[in-house]
Amino acid sequence: MNALHKPALFFFLTATLLLTWTLLPFSQALAVEPLALNEVKYWAYQIQKLDEPGAIEALAASRYDMLVVDPTVTSDWNFNAKQMVQTLKVSKAYDGVHRKLVIAYIDIGEAEEWRWYWYGRDTYEQNGLCKQSYVTAIQSWAPWVVACDPDGWGGNYPVAYWDSAWQDVVLGGTTLGSSLNLYFDSIMDEVVQDGFDGVYLDWVEAWEMDAVQQRAENEGKDAGQEMLNLIQAIKDYGQQSNPSFIVIQQNSSELLNEVGAASLRGAVDAIAQEGVWWDGDAIDDDWNNPAGYDQANGPELINYYLPRLRNYRNNGFPVFVCEYAVVHAAEAYSKAAAEGFIGYATRRPLSHLTTTPPFPATVPPPSPVGDSDLVIAPIMLLLDEQP
């Protein structure tokens, strides 16, 4: 190209790209890839008080590679989960180059009274500890409910997760969503429409509960296989819109032994285990309650978890651990790192970012490519390629 023509071409390309930059939505203009799941070094987990002023901004400003947050509409019908996801997906990960992975917390093995699918029904959480009479009353309209939560979480009920009516809530869709003027009709429909990168599945361990296993046996089902089937269906649903859709199972480290690594690998991308070394009581409303953290597990429980989690690790699954530790946070991070696990130390309510983050003292290096370079670099490349 004649050297005299280069300034004119430079001006034309600059104007074109800047106009495109202006017209594109911010999230599209700054379309940056997240880290691969197996490259995540730092993660965080918050599923309460996301609607409080500044909560989403704090998550966006944090330096984690992956965030697990609760998307589901509860009693606050005005919470904008889509906007939350958009905000978090344009915030940077620890390295300052990639964006964060944004993962939706969903409960697939228990029903919860405060979710949209419970709308218009009696609730019992306010009465304190669950009673069988509550379960019997609920079963009159939700026969897929099996029992009270065994850990003392009020308003939570293990379910027959293979039941078609429950699977409609999770996957297939119900008419309740449209009747409430929601933009989705199932849990996974909301996850996909909100734009999450994947899901974090709570209560996978439902298949191990005696009452659930008895219900499955009575109905001619294999509880472990039915859980795998549901997880696989969730994975397939997510991949219809995002081929890279991520599925992380929480707890139930025995599942790999039950169904085999080959079968699990197609459905699950990673495991997260709560409370390997430190745990806390079932507290969801008091961040500062000391009963919600720093309760040391005994050797029997630790020695149950570790071989099973190592089995996941050795079969190529990333292993995340959520330790409920404050005073012992540094020790929790050290123990997790020694096992090749990715640790996060926090408090049982999961209503704020941890006060004991895992980051090293050094500040991460600045991004090698600034935002302005995203516009200028393609122009220079085009100019250099001209004859």
- 43-46 vs 66-69, strand pairing mode: parallel
Cα separation, 164 vs 166, whole angstroms:
5
Position 367 scores a pLDDT of: 47
Position 20 scores a pLDDT of: 41
Grouped pLDDT means (10 residues each) for the chain, 387 residues:
50 46 42 90 96 95 97 73 96 96 98 93 90 96 96 92 97 88 92 97 98 98 98 98 98 98 97 98 91 98 98 98 98 98 98 93 49 36 38
Position 364 scores a pLDDT of: 56
DSSP 38-84: GG---EEEE-S-TTSTTHHHHHHHS--SEEEE-----S-TT--HHHH
CA distances from 363 to 94, 101, 288, 366, 367 (A): 9, 20, 29, 9, 12
Question: Which of 197, 188, 268 minimizes the C-alpha distance to 228?
Answer: 268
Position 32 scores a pLDDT of: 85
What does residue 145 show for φ and ψ, rounded to 5 degrees?
-75, 135
Tokens 């081929």 belong to which residue?
243
CA distances from 137 to 74, 121, 146, 147, 212 (A): 22, 10, 12, 11, 18
Under a CB-based contact definition with an 8 Å cutoff, are residues 256 and 264 in contact? yes
Cα separation, 44 vs 51, whole angstroms:
17
Under a CB-based contact definition with an 8 Å cutoff, are residues 109 and 159 in contact? yes
CB count, 10 Å around CB of 338? 8
Cα separation, 376 vs 387, whole angstroms:
20
Position 250 scores a pLDDT of: 98
